[in-house]
Amino acid sequence: MPLDWEQVVIDARDPQALGRWWAAALDWIVTIDSHEEFEIRPTMNSTPGMIFLPVQENKTAKNRVHPDFRPQNQQAEVDRLLLMGARRADIGQGEQSWIVLLDPEGNEFCILSAHGS
């Protein structure tokens, strides 16, 4: 029986702020905006989405899972995300074709090189 990937759950100190940052970064829409949960999706009924849930503790270790994104122009996308408040991260990756960034709460994600690069 196949599984449908509904969403990724992300713990956040400030779910609304982090969710809005990701919505802007991905050009997605907000589908749920409450104190209990904040959800974004590419469109109202598309999957997967991202849901942000409140937690009291700060992030203290490297993520076990992180998203990878493949833009048309890696450097332009990295520059855009840095201007939005992302930060570069060194997680021991060394010299690679991808760039590791941190979102405003310190969650890792990668910007891959464009296809064929």
- Please report which confidence band the pLDDT of residue 117 belongs to, taking 50, 70 and 90 as the band edges: low
Whole-number CA gyration radius for the chain:
15
- Alpha-carbon gap, residue 62 to 82, rounded angstroms: 20
Q: Summarize pLDDT for 10-31 with one digit per residue, the tens.
A: 999 999 999 999 999 999 999 9
- Alpha-carbon gap, residue 51 to 29, rounded angstroms: 12
Q: Which is nearest to 71 in space by CA: 117, 14, 10?
A: 117
Provide the mean pLDDT of the chain: 92
- Alpha-carbon gap, residue 75 to 81, rounded angstroms: 10
- Please report which confidence band the pLDDT of residue 45 belongs to, taking 50, 70 and 90 as the band edges: very high
Dihedral of alpha carbons 12, 53, 44, 99, sign: positive
Domains of the chain, earliest start first: 1-56 (3.30.720), 67-117 (3.10.180.10)
Specify the pLDDT at position 69: 95
Q: Summarize pLDDT for 56-74 with one digit per residue, the tens.
A: 888 888 888 889 999 999 9
pLDDT above 70 covers a percentage of the chain that reads: 97
